[in-house]
Homo-oligomer: A and B are copies of this chain.
Amino acid sequence: MLVDLPTPAAPVSFAEDRARTAGRVLLSARTPESAAMPADLVRPWLAEQARRGEYRVTPVPFSLLRGWHFEEDGNLRHESGRFFSVEGLHVTADGLPPGGRRQPIIVQPEVGLLGIVAREIDGVLHFLMQAKMEPGNINSFQLSPTVQATRSNFTGVHRGRRIPFLDLFLERGRSRVLVDVLQSEQADWFLAKRNRNMIVEIDEDVETGEEFRWLTLGQLLRLLRLDNVVNMDSRSVLACLPTAGAGPRAADGPDDTGVLRSFHDPAAPSVHGMSEILSWLTGVRAVRELDQRRVPLREIEEDGWLFSGTEIGHRSGRRFRVIGADVAASNREVGSWTQPMIQPQVPGLMALLVKRIRGTLHALVQARVDVGHLNVAELAPTVHCRPADHTGPGREPFPPFLADVLTAPAERFRYDGVQSEEGGRFYHAENRYAVVEAPDDFPEELPPDYAWLTFAQLTELLAHGNYLNVELRTLVVCAHTLY
């Protein structure tokens, strides 16, 4: 293993190793402008890319999907047996009826790669971002990681073009690893799906095409203030950057809300120590029941799912639909293709309540059980729901803290934006993401599955997989905009 990797000159502990990177991450976050790519030019460049990359995405009946078909058991698969399939999932869990519940689910056992190449320019870390079209995006082109590839992509099942920069991630020796961890994706739509989130650093410049640009973290944070510009994969990978122990730079300037301390000081006063936090999550995972079984897709009819030639949807009109899409694009590894997609019926609301406690900003997270989770529960935003599911006929009760977010005055929204979920599998899936300051009189007593964590605690957990769900990872990177 790793024989081709340079061995560090002097041994350092894991924490020291991560703290060194954290210091450089903080400097990059505080660099809102760069000669490599002036911030003002990012949006015109993205618009230009969109003009050059022609494409169209058309919902089509399942019968027009090429290479995809419903098998005997009703599952929707590709003839190659690869990519992904749409199957039935039968889940038994606390809170569901005794017999459990069935729904469609995307099964994709292959782990994909979401990789960003990093490089110091003028002493500041820059990240090589790509303007990339994804069929599900509402605005088509967004900033994606340098490389965004399924295993099928790089083993050639796609028969597509060579993926630029892939070798920097797969063949070590020319790069150093800053981030490398498997993280989960939407657990309502995917069964135990994970992607490899990577950032590798190189020392020398590389030749890049017109669709790539080097940006500082500070520039990316400004773009995160805009709707639907930084794609989900980029947000997921950037969230995994270490922040704890960034060093004296973190003490620069005033920190009235305790956000700098929260991200960068691993010994900041906190409500809980890390041992307590891990023990709490272990307890939730041990006590809550989650039994998942893949079943023939047709079985879900018994739970109210309706099949037509153009969609599989729930008779309640809630939840989501499986549809077919025909995609033609010039700027993509393959010129045109068809595929099934998931389309949510309504947008979600992902909100993180934050509060200054003992001088450190804390985030209120929940240990959430979701049907597709690999390991029962993951930490999720304070509010993780589709608000429309809680209104109208047949509505479900309000989840905890939803009312607090919906009624919070505008000035308490420290971050508020609409961001897209993964455009390769989800069609027009948008969520509102918000970081909301809790009022001073916010109750100290919490429901049992909720806890206050600092951002350094969250980013330290991100060194490992399946602790933070993808929606919370987006909010972690959005919270970087608070300092």
Assess whether A167 is interfacial by the CB under 8 Å rule. Answer: no
Docked CA distance A390–B241 (Å):
45
Looking at the assembled complex, report how far the CB atom of A291 sits from the nearest CB atom of chain B, in whole angstroms: 4
Docked CA distance A8–B449 (Å):
21
- Whether the Cβ atoms of A279 and B14 lie closer than 8 Å is no
Assess whether A374 is interfacial by the CB under 8 Å rule. Answer: yes
Query: Chain B residues near A159 (CB, 8 Å)?
Result: none
Assess whether A7 is interfacial by the CB under 8 Å rule. Answer: yes
Docked CA distance A273–B21 (Å):
14
Mark out the residues of chain A between 398 and 456 whose CB falls within 8 Å of any chain B CB in the assembled complex: 444-446, 448-451
Docked CA distance A338–B7 (Å):
55
- Specify which of B12, B270, B451 is in contact with A1 (CB 8 Å cutoff): B451
- Whether the Cβ atoms of A278 and B7 lie closer than 8 Å is no
Query: Chain B residues near A18 (CB, 8 Å)?
Result: 275
- Whether the Cβ atoms of A182 and B374 lie closer than 8 Å is no
Looking at the assembled complex, report how far the CB atom of A461 sits from the nearest CB atom of chain B, in whole angstroms: 9
Counting chain B CB atoms within 10 Å of each CB, the highest count among A14, A92, A110 belongs to A14
- Whether the Cβ atoms of B1 and A180 lie closer than 8 Å is no
Docked CA distance A97–B271 (Å):
52
Assess whether A465 is interfacial by the CB under 8 Å rule. Answer: yes
Looking at the assembled complex, report how far the CB atom of A21 sits from the nearest CB atom of chain B, in whole angstroms: 9
- Whether the Cβ atoms of B451 and A282 lie closer than 8 Å is no
Interface magnitude class on chain A: 35 or more
Query: Chain B residues near A267 (CB, 8 Å)?
Result: 11-13
Query: Chain B residues near A151 (CB, 8 Å)?
Result: 286-287, 289
Docked CA distance A2–B273 (Å):
11
Assess whether A272 is interfacial by the CB under 8 Å rule. Answer: yes
Looking at the assembled complex, report how far the CB atom of A178 sits from the nearest CB atom of chain B, in whole angstroms: 8
Closest 7 CB pairs of A and B: A14-B274, A180-B279, A111-B286, A109-B291, A1-B451, A196-B286, A177-B279
Residues of A with Cβ closer than 8 Å to B? 1-3, 5, 7-8, 11-15, 17-18, 92, 109-111, 113, 151, 177, 180-182, 196, 266-276, 278-280, 282-283, 285-287, 289-291, 293-294, 374-376, 444-446, 448-451, 460, 463-466
Would you list 25 pairs from A and B whose C-beta atoms are within 8 A, ordered by A residue? Answer: A1-B446, A1-B448, A1-B449, A1-B451, A2-B276, A8-B273, A11-B267, A11-B269, A12-B273, A13-B15, A15-B15, A17-B274, A111-B286, A111-B376, A113-B286, A151-B287, A177-B279, A180-B279, A181-B278, A182-B375, A278-B463, A294-B294, A374-B374, A375-B375, A375-B465
